[in-house]
Amino acid sequence: MTIPAPPSHRVGMKWLLIILAGLFLVIGVFAVVYFFTANTHAGVKVIRMEGTLSTGDFSTDEGVGSEYVGNQIREAADDPTVNAIVLRVDSPGGTPAAAEEIIGDMEYAKTKKPVVVSMGDIDTSAAYYVSAHANKIYADPDTLTGAVGVIWTFTDISGWLNQEGYNITDVKSGAFKDMGTTSRALTPDEQTYAQQIVNESFEEFITDVTTQRMIARSDIQDGRVIRGADALKINLVDQLGNLNDAIAGAQQLTEQRK
């Protein structure tokens, strides 16, 4: 048997429950607002691509994987609360394959909403390969960008090995199987083959960049690094500005699509 509470007590409990419910509602609203403002800026999702690019699903202080970046881009593209994407880039480049994978995800995102790039300290080589596919590119005056080119480095420590008395023998199934080993220099045939691979990769790279950005091939084919202020003059970037400027630009592109 339960003794009923006096009427006045029941009224007090009712108001206490109403107040608590109101507090929980207010806290919930603030939590939702904080979540979205922490990840978006008035409908703009900022995604960071920092460090050396390679394929894989990872992010460290030294580099980032194409799957890691690409998944974030696709999630933002499919998120109805996101109106535009800003890719904040601080990368010296990386592998062509990693750039090509991220480009595929950027092209997917561009079918749904604007994608803008904001360059930080550096956005060169394979990182610029990615950036060239954005709807608009912002850079700081002293951002280092460009360096459009491909390099493949081989190391020969055979002199040191001989000096230390090491003798290495490779038993291989084909003439090129141990190409790149550090125990000897490249043969002339290997050098020719390596140059062929570099040339083909570079041709695809520079053709894509000059098509996306309408840049004169002669302005970038030497592979040099270019200051942001000078990059603006040759159409490597669209506008000088920081991350906030890029966010504002992304919002403007969103309005233009409506």
pLDDT digit string (tens) for 40-49?
577 999 999 9
* Superfamily the domain 38-147+224-258 falls into: 2-enoyl-CoA Hydratase; Chain A, domain 1 (3.90.226.10)
29 has pLDDT over 70: no
Residue 8 a catalytic site member = no
- Mean pLDDT in the chain? 90
Report, as an integer, the average pLDDT of 211-224.
97
- The residues, ordered by sequence, that sit 6+ positions from 58 with a Cβ below 8 Å of its Cβ are 64, 65, 68
Contact between residue 118 and residue 85 where contact means Cβ atoms under 8 Å apart: no
Q: What pLDDT score does 257 carry?
A: 82
Domain boundaries, the chain: 38-147+224-258, 150-215
The answer to whether residue 177 is catalytic is: yes
Is 17 or 172 the better-scoring residue by pLDDT?
172
pLDDT given for residue 1 in this prediction: 38
Where does the pLDDT of residue 39 fall: very low under 50, low under 70, confident under 90, or very high at 90 and above?
A: very low
Confidence band, pLDDT 50/70/90 cuts, at residue 9 = low
Q: Phi first, then psi: what are they for 195, rounded to 5°? A: -65, -35
Query: 228-248, pLDDT tens digit by residue?
Result: 999 999 999 999 999 999 999
**Tens digit of each residue's pLDDT (9 = 90 or more) over 100-147:** 999 999 999 999 999 999 999 999 999 999 999 999 999 999 999 999
Whether the pLDDT of residue 5 is over 80: the answer is: no
* Per-residue pLDDT band at 74 (split at 50, 70, 90): very high
Q: What pLDDT does residue 88 have?
A: 98
Q: Is the pLDDT of residue 34 over 70?
A: no
**Among 177, 183, 201, 233, which one carries the catalytic annotation?**
177
Find the mean pLDDT for residues 19-37.
Answer: 55
Q: How far apart are CA 81 and CA 182, in angstroms?
A: 52
Give the count of beta carbons closer than 10 Å to the beta carbon of residue 21: 10
Per DSSP, the three-state class of 99 is: helix
Q: What is the mean pLDDT of the segment spanning 175-191? A: 96
Q: Residue 203: what pLDDT?
A: 98
Dihedral angle sign, alpha carbons of residues 207, 210, 216, 219:
negative
| Per-residue b or e along 144-163, where b marks 16 or more CB atoms closer than 10 Å to that residue's CB | bbbbbbbeeeeeeeeeeeee
| pLDDT for the residue numbered 138 | 98
Q: For a pLDDT cut of 70, what percent of the chain falls above it? A: 84
> Which residue in 66, 91, 118, 125 is the catalytic one?
125
